[in-house]
Amino acid sequence: MKLEKVRCEESLINFLTTLGIDIGDEENLPFVGKYFVEFRGVKYEGKSLDELESIITNLLGTYVVVPAYNEEKTIGKVLDELIEVFPPDRIIVVNDGSSDRTEEIAKSKGVNVITHLINRGLGGALGTGIAYALKKNARIIVTFDADGQHLIEDALKVMKPVVEGKANLAIGSRLKGDTSQMPLIKRIGNFGLDVITAIFAMKYVSDTQSGLRVISAECAKKIRITCDRYAVSSEIIVKAAKNKCKIVEVPIKAVYTEYSMKKGTNVIEGIKIALNLLLDAFRR
């Protein structure tokens, strides 16, 4: 999150300057008060100055990974929104072998763009983004879809438990929030995949296929992504659960446009995901 300049309570000025943070008084800046950081209505709270410091370092070390495959129609707008909240050098777009102008548009926004020479699927792209973020010493990694399905405010909300150190993996659940926009067929499909994931993970998550998730670096380091395609969403949950990472769900709202409906998982993908999870046992 952009935290290089903040508004704050007077008693915290010294503390913030020692952390190298500038003080300003513009209305749209994040506000730092006694043991909390507030931005766009989301409050990251701690109990002591030490906890506040850890919240601030976590927020300063938050990287956003945006996997993108042929998303020229939406990626510009998504990145514009992200740049308002996150500095461009902490946004990583993984251009997964797109044949359109995705790479060009992303580069023009000044964000980090990593290009796959050939298309490897969602899992491949997420793996690359996470690996690069870890190389950059990220403390927290947010994954955000490039098709415009997520709201930036929701991302800030999902970040909360991980930033506060209360969880290692937070999943933005479209099913816990307002589901009015989610088509019935998607809801049924999602439920099927949730059940399959629950069997492997021994933990039930209400929206395993959500693209909006926040993961702490220590948990991300333990997860070795082996599923290249959509199975990765379930895989992350299964492996996080096996590595004893604490998983929480945060309700979010999914925006379904005609465009984002065409993308994403369908029944055949669902079967493939189940097969992939089964096959994972045989992988060395």
Nearest approach in angstroms of CB 228 to other proteins is 5
- Spatial contact of 102 and 131, defined as CB atoms under 8 Å apart: no
52 backbone dihedrals φ, ψ, rounded to 5°: -65, -40
One of 14, 28, 117, 184 touching other proteins (CB under 8 A): 117
Q: Does 239 bind other proteins (CB under 8 A)?
A: no
Q: Taking the alpha carbons of 203, 205, 211, 213 in that order, is the dihedral positive or negative?
A: negative
Q: Residue 142, exposed/middle/buried by CB under 10 A (0-12, 13-18, 19+)?
A: buried
Residue 90 or 186 having the CB closest to other proteins = 90
Nearest approach in angstroms of CB 146 to other proteins is 16
Q: Give the range of 11-19, 112-120, 149-157, 180-188 binding other proteins by CB under 8 A.
A: 112-120
Nearest approach in angstroms of CB 31 to other proteins is 33
Which strands make up the sheet holding 140-143, listed edge to edge?
A: 112-116, 91-96, 62-68, 140-143, 213-216, 169-173, 247-251
Q: Does 271 bind other proteins (CB under 8 A)?
A: no
Applying the rule CB under 8 A, the residues between 127 and 166 that interact with other proteins are: 127-128, 131-132, 135
Per-residue interface string for the shown chain with other proteins, residues 53-92, x marking contact by CB under 8 A: ----------------------------------------
One of 49, 195, 199, 279 touching other proteins (CB under 8 A): 279
Taking residue 279's Cβ as centre, other Cβ atoms within 10 Å add up to: 12
Nearest approach in angstroms of CB 94 to other proteins is 7
234 backbone dihedrals φ, ψ, rounded to 5°: -70, -40
Q: Are strands 213-216 and 169-173 parallel, antiparallel or unpaired?
A: antiparallel
Q: Give the range of 7-15, 126-134, 142-150, 153-161 binding other proteins by CB under 8 A.
A: 126-134
Maximum alpha-carbon separation in the chain: 59
3-state helix, strand, coil split of the chain in percent (to 5) is: 45, 20, 35
Residues at the contact surface with other proteins, assessed by CB under 8 A: 94, 112-118, 120, 123-124, 127-128, 131-132, 135, 226, 228, 279, 282-284
